[in-house]
Amino acid sequence: MRSKLTILLTLTLGMAYGQSPFIGSYNGSQREAALELYILPQHHFVFAMSYGAIDRTIVGKWEQKGEKIFFQETKSADRDAFIVYEGIDKELLAESEFVFKNFSQNTGTAFRILPEFHPDSMKLIHLRDENTFSMTNRLSVTPKAHSSFFLSAPNNSVENDVYEFKSATTSNTLYLYYNHDTNYDTFQMEAYLKGDSLYMNDGAGERFFAVKGTLNSDYEALLSDATENQRIPLQLEVEGLNGKRIILQRLRPVKQFKCLLHLDENSAYFSDHENGAAPTSPPILH
């Protein structure tokens, strides 16, 4: 015999589902593009997309108005363009190492180790005409020559956003991630149903997205995992020089400002054909 609690939970879940005909799962995958939208109870949604070099999960809130539904992404408060970690690799004795992750996703980024900032001194990390696929690049420097360094990224104006970092004098391993999520505007969308078919309007016109499917009972775990993966961890575990695992700590910028840079467009630290490794993902978008 089913308990009163089980019956109550079943009725409650059924009522929640009955609040909106939009609640369900929608697989809008196409050739070379995986697109899955989950419209959840309590006005949450998760939109997962993967195509080309893009692997993105959007979490947000939805609101139904009449026969339409409106989606609004919930952006993380931590919106720095660069995510940096520092630590000590005891096997790395003769030099310090900067490891760049995913910087070829924005080839307007620049870097320089400097005691103090100067707009003429910044250097492109990748040339602007290179591909947009994820890469890993390594830069070796003289020990203790890197206590102050600068990273910059283009913004919507002619200026660049510049970040100043000061690492600990004992640190000899630094991992630098480009946070490609800052490339994207806040996701907003409206949609409506024709029968069980969801049509989206992104401002460029209406288009069929997917047929409504059943929402799995573990949707709360789906939401929890997607939300957790939006957070930037304070620690990062990586493989050191001799394969040993080392723990790095988050290093936050000491200063952020805007500046018009004077960059040599023909000079960069890395090309897309050298010092590269397998594609990687930032620690926030597993």
Is residue 43, in this structure, part of any structural domain at all? yes
The DSSP symbol for 33 reads: B
Determine the Cα–Cα distance for residues 44 and 274; give it in Å rounded to an integer.
43
**For 227, phi and psi rounded to 5 degrees?**
-70, -40
**Backbone CA torsion sign across 274, 275, 276, 281:** negative
Determine the Cα–Cα distance for residues 230 and 44; give it in Å rounded to an integer.
15
What's the pLDDT at 42? 93
- In angstroms and rounded to an integer, the radius of gyration of the C-alpha atoms of the chain is 23
Is residue 27, in this structure, part of any structural domain at all? yes
Please give the C-alpha separations between residue 231 and each of 59, 142, 147, 228, 269, in angstroms, as whole numbers.
12, 33, 27, 6, 30
What's the pLDDT at 279? 38
My answer on whether 136 and 219 are in the same domain is no
Q: Which long-range contacts (C-beta less than 8 Å, at least 24 apart) are formed by 42-51?
A: 42/16, 44/223, 45/71, 46/222, 46/223, 46/226, 47/71, 47/187, 48/226
Calculate ∠ Cα 242-96-100, nearest 5°.
85
What's the pLDDT at 257? 95
Of 279 and 45, the structure prediction assigns the larger pLDDT to: 45
What is the count of structural domains for the chain?
Answer: 2
What's the pLDDT at 183? 78
Give the CATH number of the domain where residue 65 resides. 2.40.128
Residue 10 — very low, low, confident or very high, per pLDDT cuts 50/70/90? very low
My answer on whether 24 and 105 are in the same domain is no
Is residue 249, in this structure, part of any structural domain at all? yes
What's the pLDDT at 99? 95
Residue 231 — very low, low, confident or very high, per pLDDT cuts 50/70/90? confident
My answer on whether 123 and 201 are in the same domain is no
Residue 166, CB half-sphere, CA atoms under 13 Å: how many? 6
My answer on whether 96 and 151 are in the same domain is yes
My answer on whether 19 and 152 are in the same domain is no
My answer on whether 90 and 163 are in the same domain is yes
Is residue 282, in this structure, part of any structural domain at all? no
For range 110-122, the mean pLDDT: 93
- H helix and E strand count, the chain: 2, 20
Calculate ∠ Cα 84-242-148, nearest 5°.
30
From 58-62, 66-70, 201-205, the region with the lowest mean pLDDT: 201-205
My answer on whether 171 and 265 are in the same domain is yes
- DSSP for 210-252 reads EEEEPPPTTHHHHHHHHHHTTSPPSEEEEE-TTS-EEEEEEE-
My answer on whether 254 and 266 are in the same domain is yes
For range 47-57, the mean pLDDT: 85
Distant-in-sequence, close-in-space partners of 238: CB < 8 Å, separation ≥ 6: 85, 99, 173, 175, 245, 246, 248
Residue 144 — very low, low, confident or very high, per pLDDT cuts 50/70/90? low
Mark 256-281 as b/e (b = at least 16 C-beta within 10 Å): eeeeebebeeeebbbebeeebeeeee
Residue 21 — very low, low, confident or very high, per pLDDT cuts 50/70/90? very high
Residue 224 — very low, low, confident or very high, per pLDDT cuts 50/70/90? very high
My answer on whether 108 and 177 are in the same domain is yes
My answer on whether 43 and 109 are in the same domain is no
Determine the structural domain holding residue 39 and report its residue range.
Answer: 4-76+184-228
For range 146-159, the mean pLDDT: 87
Is residue 279, in this structure, part of any structural domain at all? no
Is residue 281, in this structure, part of any structural domain at all? no
What's the pLDDT at 275? 45
My answer on whether 68 and 24 are in the same domain is yes
Is residue 280, in this structure, part of any structural domain at all? no
pLDDT averaged over the chain? 85
My answer on whether 111 and 155 are in the same domain is yes
Is residue 135, in this structure, part of any structural domain at all? yes
